Amino acid sequence: MLPTHGRYDYAPIIRRRDFSWPEGKRLAFYVAINLEHFAFGEGLGASLAPGGPQPDVLNFSWRDYGNRVGAWRLLQMLDELRLPSCAITNAAIFDYCPELPKAFVDRGDEIVAHGRTNSERQGEIDEKAEAELIADSTEILTRYVGRRPRGWLSPWISESRVTPDLLQEAGYTYLLDWCHDDQPVWFRTRRGKLLSLPYPQEVNDIPAIIARQTSASDFADMIVDQFREMQRQSNEQPLTMGVALHPYIVGQPYRLRHLRRAFGEIAGERGNVWYTTPSAIADAVGADTT
């Protein structure tokens, strides 16, 4: 027997209980906009080009474009297409540019906790420090937004062996780190259950555009192809599709033009698709769904 995480059991998707999303919809679709702030001259961060010695001005300023310009263009597009979203938010954003997450709150979008900053990985610290990181991030988001966040995405999808346990104990409803399924899956933790919601690593602009050098038009085609195939598959099982976006990447005008095309096609399917947020999906799952 190989070592295992023990969080869930194997369950093929073709042999699960059938159900439908609200109003009989079969495909739940959500847009995740990552709002991230980075330390200047130190720490981690995605790169447009190989960086030189710190301070790495090229890559820091490229990432900051997302908060200053790209995210606002994405908000305009979402408003035009009448699509909800969730803002997956570093706590440090509220010190740097609080008006940005407020714009998402004002349009009724969900704020999802995303650690302190993407300049660090939480899986590299001990349990006590990780619990403090979760508590600090939760307190900051609660203070600024006016309600506790219900969902968590770890910066860089970095988990320790106890991250789901700590999140459940901190009062979180769901986790977005795992990309192992197209339906929500209940995780076991040491003190109860935590819902794992599908979060995309294929239809995600960092792996696709930064890591694999996918073009803007091809990434838009990936989104549409994923959507159309999952529409077809959802006739057999209710499914969840997310699209993960970073404003400093897809907020660049030439990429946004192609993203607008893809989302415009998706937004035209209001008859059979549930456009929603992760918290609403978690509410719809119900305690009996496995």
pLDDT, one tens digit per residue, over 232-285 is 999 999 999 999 999 999 999 999 999 999 999 999 998 889 999 999 999 999
Domain count, the chain: 1
Residue 47 belongs to a domain: no
Residue 105 belongs to a domain: yes
* CATH number of residue 99's parent domain: 3.20.20.370
Residue 205 belongs to a domain: yes
pLDDT-above-70 percentage for the chain: 99
pLDDT, one tens digit per residue, over 12-42 is 999 999 999 999 999 999 999 999 999 999 9
Residue 165 belongs to a domain: yes
Residue 11 belongs to a domain: no
Which domain range does residue 107 map to?
16-37+53-285
pLDDT, one tens digit per residue, over 70-113 is 999 999 999 999 999 999 999 999 999 999 999 999 999 999 99
State the DSSP string of the chain: ------S-----GGGS-----GGG-SEEEEEEEEE----TTSS----SS---SSS-HHHHHHHHHIIIIIHHHHHHHHHHHT---EEEE-TTHHHH-THHHHHHHHTTPEEEE--S-TTS-GGGS-HHHHHHHHHHHHHHHHHHHSS---EE--GGG---TTHHHHHHHTT--EE----S-SS-EEEEETTEEEEEPP--SSSBHIIIIIIS---HHHHHHHHHHHHHHHHHHTTTS-EEEEEEE-HHHHTSHHHHHHHHHHHHHHHT-TTTEEE--HHHHHHHH-TT--
Mean pLDDT of the chain: 96
